[in-house]
């Protein structure tokens, strides 16, 4: 059994920024990071590479897994706020959470993101206009890196840390056992490693894995919600007056019919809709690039309805998975419907799509979302589209495209303290895998936080390196 001081399971945003901070602090510790996906140079979705027109369910999914996690091939949007994106501030305080996220932003700029614009909703006239139509714009600063620039920044971080942090890719951790003085980590390759400190940073795609591990070790879990909705795609000119000013507009609306909350999420001006595979289920997401040569004529964003359940039901992620599987069953993957067809109660067909003025950026199966998404959620989404039409006329156009389904799975919240440590000494859970954070900024910040905590454990710093 090979021995390490610290083992990090998962190379997502939390794990990457933890590895950065450990390297910067130059601690005297032997560190291993294990990731089930690929390194940066081998992360390539077959759809983006033009090898296949639709998702072929790679295992693991290159968009969801690999160095940098699900954020690597996203549009690199870092929201610096405690208003959404997780609850890190509930553990460390608002001031500390903001300081950590500002620090992450500084690292990103130092690593190649300095030219990326920092947007803000402060003093935005959009907030007043939105309120006039019962829409609420959440405050945030947003650094948009773009998928292309994001990849370069992560490559720089990887090169900065690679001589200090040992990394294993294409390696799945199958079991974790407690030892008298730490933990044993067993992989699918038959290898075993021991460590004093173990950090679980498996991200969104590791939700089931981390729940199983915590239940086995007796670490408390609190079930979280699941968000279900669609990815909206429309001509970029419709939202141009908004995206040019604030880029990422987090708009929340309380529906009249059900009094439910619907929100916009992950807005991608001049971007493209993409498919992603989470544990064998194909859902949709959106990307955008910093390079104007890679821009499309469309903007896309998600409309999500939050679902929280009461006793005795506990499997919120299972509920979301069942809806996504139904979409995959009917469409062979992602379903696509024109808004005009949806409100008229008819399916979108290939013939109708040929007459559509909005050109889809993702090849998807024309169909009927009302056969997939429950009526309550669908009614909420339709009402939200009409509300957005008041501040961005044209949103409710017949040719606005809806892709389904988009599901945001929230990991069960792991019981941790203000240092991200569980009740088992030496066992930490951070990033989106912990259920505490739900964003790149907060996940990265939690990695920095835990690295600083462990740096104090290894107070004998290396000198002259």
The whole-number pLDDT of residue 402 equals 98
CA 292 centroid distance within chain: 24
What was the pLDDT predicted at 217? 95
How far is the C-alpha of 8 from the C-alpha of 232, rounded, in Å? Answer: 36
Catalogue the long-range contacts made by 351-356 (C-beta closer than 8 Å, 24 or more residues apart).
Answer: 356/399, 356/401
Q: CA-CA distances (angstroms) from residue 227 to 50, 113, 211, 273, 324?
A: 30, 30, 19, 18, 12
DSSP H helical ranges for 165-206 = none
What is the architecture, at CATH level 2, of domain 2-122+140-223+412-457? 3-Layer(bba) Sandwich (3.50)
The whole-number pLDDT of residue 410 equals 76
CA pseudo-torsion sign 155, 157, 161, 165: negative
pLDDT attached to residue 123? 65
Q: What is the structure's pLDDT at 12? A: 93
Report pTM.
Answer: 0.86
Question: For residues 33 and 60, what is the distance between their CA atoms, to the nearest angstrom?
Answer: 17
Q: Give the separation between CA 273 and CA 286, rounded to whole angstroms.
A: 4
pLDDT of residue 207: 79
Q: Where are the domains of the chain?
A: 2-122+140-223+412-457, 226-409
- Per-10-residue mean pLDDT, the chain, length 465: 96 96 95 95 81 80 88 86 94 97 98 93 84 93 91 96 96 96 95 97 86 94 86 98 91 96 94 88 90 94 89 81 92 94 97 96 96 96 98 98 90 92 97 92 97 87 42
Q: Two tokens at 63? A: 């968009």
């Amino acid at each position: 059994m090979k021995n390490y001081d610290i083992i990090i399971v998962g190379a997502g945003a939390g794990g990457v920024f933890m590895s950065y901070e450990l390297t910067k602090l130059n601690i005297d510790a032997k560190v291993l990071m294990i990731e089930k996906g690929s390194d940066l140079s081998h992360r390539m979705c077959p759809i983006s590479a033009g090898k296949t027109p639709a998702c072929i369910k790679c295992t693991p999914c290159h968009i969801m897994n690999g160095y940098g996690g699900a954020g690597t091939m996203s549009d690199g949007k870092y929201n610096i706020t405690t208003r959404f994106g997780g609850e890190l501030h509930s553990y460390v305080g608002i001031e500390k959470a903001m300081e950590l996220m500002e620090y992450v932003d500084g690292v990103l700029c130092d690593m190649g993101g300095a030219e990326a614009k920092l947007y803000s909703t402060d003093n935005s006239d959009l907030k007043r206009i939105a309120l006039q139509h019962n829409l609420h714009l959440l405050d945030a600063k947003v650094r948009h890196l773009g998928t292309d620039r994001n990849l370069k920044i992560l490559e720089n971080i990887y090169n900065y840390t690679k001589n200090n942090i040992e990394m294993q890719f294409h390696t799945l951790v199958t079991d974790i056992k407690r030892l008298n003085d730490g933990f044993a980590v067993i992989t699918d390759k038959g290898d075993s490693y021991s460590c004093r400190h173990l950090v679980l940073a498996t991200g969104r795609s590791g939700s089931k894995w981390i729940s199983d591990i915590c239940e086995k070790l007796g670490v408390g879990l609190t079930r979280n919600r699941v968000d279900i909705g669609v990815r909206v795609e429309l001509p970029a000119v419709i939202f141009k007056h908004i995206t040019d000013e604030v880029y990422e507009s987090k708009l929340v609306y309380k529906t009249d019919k059900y009094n439910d909350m619907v929100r916009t999420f992950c807005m991608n001006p001049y971007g493209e809709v993409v498919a992603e595979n989470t544990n064998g289920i194909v859902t949709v997401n959106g990307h955008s690039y910093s390079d104007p040569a890679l821009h499309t004529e469309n903007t896309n964003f998600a409309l999500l309805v939050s679902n929280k359940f009461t006793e005795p039901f506990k499997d919120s992620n299972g509920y979301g998975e069942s809806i996504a599987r139904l979409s995959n069953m009917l469409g062979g993957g992602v379903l696509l419907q024109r808004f005009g067809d949806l409100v008229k109660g008819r399916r979108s067909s290939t013939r109708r799509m040929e007459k559509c003025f909005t050109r889809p950026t993702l090849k998807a199966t024309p169909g009927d979302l009302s056969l997939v998404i429950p009526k309550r959620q669908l009614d909420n989404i339709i009402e939200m589209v009409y509300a957005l039409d008041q501040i961005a006329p044209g949103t409710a156009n017949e040719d606005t495209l809806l892709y389904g389904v988009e599901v945001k799975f929230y990991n069960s919240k792991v019981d941790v303290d203000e240092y991200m440590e569980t009740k088992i000494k030496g066992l930490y859970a951070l990033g989106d895998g912990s259920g505490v954070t739900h964003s790149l900024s907060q996940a990265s910040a939690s990695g920095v936080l835990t690295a600083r905590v462990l740096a104090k454990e290894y107070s004998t710093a290396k000198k002259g390196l």
